[in-house]
Amino acid sequence: MAAGFLSLTEISLAGARKIKLKLLAEAGDERARKVMALQSQSADFFAASQIGLNAIAILGGILGEGALRPYFSAWLAMFYDGPGSENIAFALSFVFVTTFFVLFSDLMPKRLAMIAPESTAIAVIGPVLFIIRLLRPFSWALNVVANTLFRLLGINTTREDRITFDEISAVVEAGTQAGVLQKQEQHFIENVFELESRAVTSTMTTREHIVFFTLNETEDGVRQKIARHALSKFPVCDDTIDHVIGYVDTRDILVRLLNNQSGFQLSESTIRTVLIIPDTLRLSELLDRFRATKETFAVVINEYALVVGVITLSDIMVTVMGKWGSPLETGELATRREDGSWLIDGSTPVADLKRLLDLASLPDEEHYETAAGFMMYMLRKIPKPTDSVECEGIRFEVLDVDHYRIDQLLVKRLDGGSPP
C-alpha cells in the first residue's frame, strides 16, 4: 500500500504539466503552488521516494518470501516431493511476491496517476511534504553524494522549461485530434507563429502587379484605375515606380468625387505619407510597425532602393486566415484541372505552394520566396517553356514565360496521381 502510494505520487509529480498547474494556482488553489514549488526543487522528494520504495521492496521481498515459502512447499508436496523441492518453492514464492509488488505497488498506481497527473499531484501534496520532512536527513545525504557524482561527470541537472514552437504545435495538433480545437483553428494558430519566419516578400503584391498614380495623373485616369482595380490604396510616384512620394486612400478620392468637386487633382491634401520598409523584414516585425505608426499600407524596397512590392495589413491577415482568405482558394494563383493537376502562378508564395501540395518542405527554401524562384533555383538558369523539375514525387513544368519571368507552372504527380 505504501509503495503504491509512493509510486503514484512520483509519477503524478513528474507528469503534472506546469501550464495547467499555473492556471490552477492563478485560480486560487494553494496546493497547485506547492506542487509547482516541489517540481522546481524535486531532488528532496525523489530521494525520499526512492528510499521508501526500495526499503519497502527489500523488506517486502524478505518477509513475503519467508512467509509464503511454507505454503508453496506444502502445495508442491501434493505433486512432487523429490530433490530441489525447496528451491522450486523458493522460486515460486519469489515470482509471486515480485509479480504482486510490480502489479499493485508500481504498474497500477503509475497508470492511475497518468490518467490525471495534475489533480493527483494536488491531492497527495500534503502527505508528500510530510514524507519529505520525515526523511530529510537521509535525502540530504543521498543528494550530496548524487550531486558530487554529477559534477564529476560534468552533467548539468538544471531543468530547462523553455517551450518551443514545435512543442506548442504538437499540443495544438493533439487538441485538434481530441476535438478540443477545430481544424481551421489549428491552422490559424500555426499561421500566427508562421509570421515570425515569413518575410514580407512572401506575401506582398509584387512590383509587376503594382497599380500606381503619378503626380500628373488626370482625373479621368484616376477614375479609370479605381474602377478597374478593386484596391483601397494606391501609391503615388513621381514619374517612375521607384520614386514613391506617398499614397492615396480611395475613400478620400471618392468623397471628393461624390461631392461633385470639380478639378480634382492629386495634391498634398490627398497624398498621405507612405511607410517604406526593407524587403528583409519579417511579417511579425511589419505588424509591429503597422501598430506603432497606425498605418495599414507599406512599400517594400530592396538594398538598391528599388521598389519590389507593396503590402497591406489585409495581406498579413490573409496569411493568418490561410486558405479562407488566400488567393489560392479563389483560383487567382492556382487552378485545379479535371485530371487532378494544378496550374500555378509563378508568383505563388512558397508557404502557400507547400500548403497547396501538402509538402513539409522544399529544397533550400530559404533561397527563394515564390514558385518561380523555386524553379529558377532548381534549374540554375533562365527558364523557358517545357523546362521541368522533379521534387518529392511531383513534377513542376514551366508553361509560360513572360519577359524572363515564369508566369505559370503545371504541377502533377509522377506516379500518375494528382497532388493532394
3-state secondary structure of 299: strand
Listed as ranges, residues in the chain with pLDDT below 70 are: 1-3, 43-44, 65, 157-163, 260-264, 322-332, 416-420
- Name which of 393, 344, 385, 351 is nearest 368 in CA terms: 351
Residues 6+ apart with CB under 8 A from 292: none
HSE of 58, CA atoms in CB hemisphere, 13 A:
5
pLDDT at 1: 63
User: Where would I find the H helices in 78-164?
Assistant: 85-102, 108-115, 117-134, 136-153
Rounded Cα gap, residues 300 and 295, in angstroms: 14
pLDDT at 328: 42
Rounded Cα gap, residues 255 and 257, in angstroms: 6
pLDDT at 260: 66
3-state secondary structure of 300: strand
What is the radius of gyration, based on Cα positions, of the chain?
Answer: 35
pLDDT at 375: 93
Grid cell listed for 254: 471618392
- The model's pTM is 0.57
pLDDT at 210: 92
pLDDT at 99: 81
pLDDT at 262: 58
Q: What is the pLDDT of residues 190-233, one digit of tens each?
A: 788 888 888 898 888 888 889 999 988 888 888 888 888 888 89
Instruction: Check: CB of residue 97 under 8 Å from CB of residue 64.
Output: yes
Angle subtended by helix axes 117-134 and 108-115, to nearest 10:
120
Rounded Cα gap, residues 261 and 100, in angstroms: 94
pLDDT at 236: 93
